C-alpha cells in the first residue's frame, strides 16, 4: 500500500514542572496534573511513536521505516542517519520553571552515552506575562567562575533571561546552558536524543521527597562558557509561503502561515516533511491520502510525496525537514 500523511498517538510525559495546558489548550488526552511533554513523533527507544490514522494505524514508526525505508525518510536522510528517525518532535507545557540544563554535542554524547547529542529549537506558542527563558550567560565566564557559582548558589546571577511572547523562536545548540521558564507553552524540534545534563533545579524534591539528580561533573566539559547572541531567530511571516527559520545540520524549519488553499512541490526535497500546527487547522493531502490537523497536532509527509495540498481558511504551521 502507498504512504499517506501520517499522524501518531501523542506520548504524554509526566514532569515535576508540568501542568494541564497540553489538554486544555492543545487538546491532548490529559487526565491529570503535571503533564509536561507530548512527544509527537519519536523514534527514541522505549518511546517509539505509533500511527493513529489510516491503513497503518497501530504500526510503530520503526516498523514503517523498516517497511518503507527511503520512501518514508528520503534517500539522502537514510544515507546520513540510517534507519534511526533523526529528530524528536514535542510540545512542552511549563507550569513551573524547568531545571537549568544543557546537552552534550555529538562527539561527547557518542563517547559517553553511545547517543547523538542534542541541538534543539523552540517556538513559543503561548506565554504568561513576564514569562521568560534562560539562554546562555550574560558574559563570558571561566569554568572556575562557573564552579564557584555552584558552591555559593549564585548561578542564576550569571545567566541571561529572555522575556518571551507568542511567535518567539530560539535555536539552542549543544553546550548552551538553558531552561524554559514558568508559564511558557512551546513547540520543540530536536535531535533524537534524551541525554540531558541537569546542573541546577532550585533545590526541588520529587514526589518521594528526594532532590533530583544533578550532573555537575559531566556538564563541566560540555558547557559553552562564552556569551553569545546567536540564539534568537529573526524570521519573516509572509502569508502563503515557506518563511525560513532555522537551517542547521540536524533540521531545517520554516514558518508557513496560510489563509487560503495552496500546494507545494516536494519532488526535489529528498526528505520527509513534518507539519506542526501552532494555530488554526488545515487538511493536508498528498497523492495517496489526507489528514486533518488542528492546533497542537502534527503530521508526517513521506519523502516520496511529489506534491502536497493544504486546504484551510486559516492556519499557522511549522514545517520541518532534514
Q: Is residue 235, in this structure, part of any structural domain at all?
A: no
- In this structure, the answer to whether residues 124 and 68 fall within a common structural domain is yes
Q: Is residue 231, in this structure, part of any structural domain at all?
A: no
- In this structure, the answer to whether residues 196 and 286 fall within a common structural domain is no
- In this structure, the answer to whether residues 21 and 85 fall within a common structural domain is yes
Query: Mean of the per-residue pLDDT values for the chain?
Result: 96
- In this structure, the answer to whether residues 87 and 211 fall within a common structural domain is yes
- In this structure, the answer to whether residues 178 and 311 fall within a common structural domain is no
Last residue of a domain, one of 169, 188, 220: 220
- The answer to whether 302 and 56 have CB atoms below 8 angstroms apart is no
- In this structure, the answer to whether residues 266 and 133 fall within a common structural domain is no
DSSP 99: P
CA distance linking residue 66 with residue 86, whole number of Å: 15
Alpha-carbon Rg for the chain, nearest whole angstrom, is: 20
- In this structure, the answer to whether residues 277 and 139 fall within a common structural domain is no
- In this structure, the answer to whether residues 250 and 156 fall within a common structural domain is no
- In this structure, the answer to whether residues 157 and 261 fall within a common structural domain is no
Q: Is residue 3, in this structure, part of any structural domain at all?
A: no
Q: Domain containing 164: what range?
A: 11-220
Please report which confidence band the pLDDT of residue 174 belongs to, taking 50, 70 and 90 as the band edges. very high
Q: Is residue 233, in this structure, part of any structural domain at all?
A: no
Q: Is residue 227, in this structure, part of any structural domain at all?
A: no
CA distance linking residue 53 with residue 276, whole number of Å: 16
Model pLDDT, residue 1: 67
- In this structure, the answer to whether residues 314 and 262 fall within a common structural domain is yes
- Counting the structural domains of the chain, the total is 2
Q: What is the dihedral of CA 22, 84, 216, 203, to 10 degrees?
A: 20
- The answer to whether 284 and 240 have CB atoms below 8 angstroms apart is no
For the segment 231-238, the average pLDDT, to the nearest whole number, is: 97
CA distance linking residue 305 with residue 302, whole number of Å: 6
Please report which confidence band the pLDDT of residue 163 belongs to, taking 50, 70 and 90 as the band edges. very high
pLDDT one-digit tens code per residue, 32-78:
999 999 999 999 999 999 999 999 999 999 999 999 999 999 999 99
The set of cell numbers assigned to 17 is: 514542572
CA 200, 205, 209: angle at the middle one, nearest 5?
150
- In this structure, the answer to whether residues 33 and 140 fall within a common structural domain is yes
Q: Is residue 280, in this structure, part of any structural domain at all?
A: yes
Place of cell 512541490: 265
Of the listed ranges 61-70, 131-140, 203-212, 274-283, the least confidently predicted one is: 203-212
- In this structure, the answer to whether residues 16 and 153 fall within a common structural domain is yes
pLDDT one-digit tens code per residue, 1-36:
699 999 999 999 999 999 999 999 999 999 899 999
Contacts of 60 (CB under 8 A, 6+ apart): 48, 49, 50, 51
What are phi and psi for residue 282, nearest 5 degrees?
A: -160, 150
Q: Is residue 213, in this structure, part of any structural domain at all?
A: yes
Q: How far, in whole angstroms, is CA 100 from its chain's centroid?
A: 17
Q: What is the dihedral of CA 66, 71, 72, 73, to 10 degrees?
A: 90
CATH number at residue 99: 2.60.120.10
Q: Is residue 139, in this structure, part of any structural domain at all?
A: yes
pTM of the full structure = 0.95
Contacts of 296 (CB under 8 A, 6+ apart): 22, 25, 26, 27, 28, 38, 91, 277
Amino acid at each position: 500500500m502507498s504512504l499517506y500523511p501520517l499522524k501518531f498517538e501523542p506520548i504524554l510525559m509526566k514532569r515535576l514542572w508540568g501542568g494541564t495546558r497540553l489538554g486544555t489548550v492543545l487538546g491532548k488526552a490529559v487526565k491529570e496534573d503535571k503533564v509536561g511533554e507530548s512527544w509527537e513523533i519519536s523514534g527514541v527507544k522505549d518511546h517509539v511513536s505509533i500511527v493513529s490514522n489510516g491503513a497503518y494505524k497501530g504500526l510503530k514508526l520503526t516498523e514503517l521505516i523498516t517497511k518503507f525505508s527511503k520512501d518514508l525518510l528520503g534517500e539522502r536522510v537514510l544515507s546520513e542517519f540510517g534507519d534511526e528517525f533523526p529528530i524528536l518532535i514535542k510540545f512542552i507545557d511549563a507550569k513551573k520553571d524547568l531545571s537549568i540544563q544543557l546537552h552534550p554535542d555529538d562527539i561527547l554524547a557518542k563517547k559517553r552515552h553511545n547517543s547523538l547529542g542534542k541541538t534543539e529549537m523552540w517556538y513559543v506558542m503561548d506565554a504568561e506575562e513576564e514569562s521568560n527563558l534562560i539562554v546562555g550567560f550574560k558574559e563570558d565566564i571561566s569554568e572556575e567562575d562557573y564552579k564557584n557559582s555552584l558552591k555559593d548558589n549564585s548561578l542564576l546571577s550569571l545567566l541571561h533571561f529572555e522575556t518571551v511572547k507568542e511567535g518567539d523562536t530560539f535555536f539552542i545548540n549543544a553546550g548552551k546552558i538553558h531552561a524554559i521558564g514558568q508559564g511558557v507553552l512551546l513547540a520543540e524540534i530536536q535531535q533524537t536524543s534524551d541525554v540531558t545534563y541537569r546542573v541546577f533545579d532550585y533545590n526541588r524534591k520529587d514526589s518521594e521527597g528526594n532532590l533530583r539528580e544533578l550532573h555537575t561533573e559531566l556538564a563541566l566539559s560540555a558547557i559553552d562558557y562564552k556569551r553569545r547572541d546567536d540564539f534568537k531567530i529573526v524570521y519573516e511571516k509572509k502569508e502563503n509561503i515557506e518563511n525560513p527559520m532555522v537551517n542547521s545540520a540536524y533540521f531545517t524549519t520554516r514558518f508557513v502561515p496560510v489563509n487560503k488553499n495552496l500546494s507545494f512541490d516536494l519532488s526535489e526535497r529528498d526528505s520527509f516533511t513534518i507539519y506542526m500546527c501552532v494555530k488554526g487547522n488545515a487538511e493536508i493531502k498528498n497523492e495517496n491520502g489526507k489528514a486533518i490537523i488542528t492546533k497542537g497536532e502534527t503530521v508526517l509527509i513521506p519523502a516520496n510525496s511529489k506534491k502536497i495540498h493544504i486546504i484551510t481558511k486559516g492556519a499557522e504551521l511549522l514545517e520541518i525537514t532534514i
